[in-house]
Amino acid sequence: MTGPLRLAVLGAGGRGADAYGRWVAAHPDRARIVAVADPDPARLDALAGTRAARYPDWRALVADLGGPDAAPHAAPHAAPHAAPHAAPHAAPHAAPHAVADAVVVALPDALHVPAAAAVAEAGLPMLLEKPAAPTLTGLTDLARVVRRTDARVAVGHVLRFAPFWRAVRAVAASGTLGDLATIEIRENIGFWHFAHSFVRGSWSSAERSSPMVLAKTCHDLDLIRWLAGAPPLTVTSEGSLLHFRPENAPDGAPARCTDGCPAAADCPFYAPRYYVDALRDRTGHPVTVLGDDVSPAGRLAALRRGPYGRCVYRCDNDVADHQQTLLRFASGLTATLTASAFTAENTRHLAITGTRGQLHGHMDSGEIRVDLYAPSGRLPQELLPAGVDVVASGTAGPLRHTTHTLVARSESVAADHRGHAGGDDGLMDAFCRAVADGTVGRGELSFATALDSHLMAFAAEQSRTGEGVVDFPAWAGTALGDAGRDVA
User: Alpha-carbon distance 446 to 429, whole Å?
Assistant: 16
What's the pLDDT at 124?
96
CA angle 201, 205, 206 (to 5 degrees): 135
Residues 6+ apart with CB under 8 A from 411: 422
* Pairing assessment for the beta strands 31-37 and 53-55 based on DSSP bridges: parallel
Residues 6+ apart with CB under 8 A from 343: 188, 189, 190, 191
pLDDT in tens, the chain (488 residues): 678 999 999 999 878 888 899 999 999 999 999 999 999 998 999 999 888 999 999 999 999 986 434 333 333 444 433 333 333 333 333 333 348 999 999 999 999 999 999 999 999 999 999 999 999 999 999 999 999 999 999 999 999 999 999 999 999 999 999 999 999 999 999 999 999 999 999 999 999 889 999 999 999 999 999 999 999 999 999 999 999 999 999 999 999 999 999 999 999 999 999 999 999 999 888 898 899 899 999 999 999 999 999 999 999 999 999 999 999 999 999 999 999 999 999 999 999 999 999 999 999 999 999 999 999 999 999 999 999 999 999 999 999 999 999 999 865 444 444 557 788 999 999 999 999 999 999 988 989 989 999 999 999 999 999 989 999 999 999 999 877 766 54
Q: Where in the chain is the domain with CATH 3.30.360.10?
A: 160-242+319-423
Candidates 3.30.390.30, 3.90.1200.10, 3.30.360.10, 3.40.50.2000; CATH matching 160-242+319-423: 3.30.360.10
In DSSP notation, 240-252 reads: E--SSSGGGSPTT
- Are the C-beta atoms of 324 and 237 separated by less than 8 Å? yes
CA angle 239, 244, 249 (to 5 degrees): 145
> 5-158+427-453 belongs to which homologous superfamily?
NAD(P)-binding Rossmann-like Domain (3.40.50.720)
CB burial of 119-147 (b: ≥16 within 10 Å; e: otherwise) equals bbbbbbbbbbbbbbbbbbebbbbbbbbbb
- Are the C-beta atoms of 474 and 231 separated by less than 8 Å? no
User: Alpha-carbon distance 155 to 214, whole Å?
Assistant: 13
Q: How far lies 350's CA from each of 161, 165, 187, 262, 419, in Å?
A: 16, 10, 9, 40, 19
User: Alpha-carbon distance 305 to 174, whole Å?
Assistant: 54
What's the pLDDT at 362?
96
Nearest CA-CA partner of 356 in 384, 380, 333, 375: 375
- Are the C-beta atoms of 33 and 22 separated by less than 8 Å? no
Q: Where in the chain is the domain with CATH 3.40.50.720?
A: 5-158+427-453
SS3 323: strand
If DSSP states are collapsed to H, E and C, what string results for 297-320? HHHHHHHHHCHHHECCCCCCCCCC
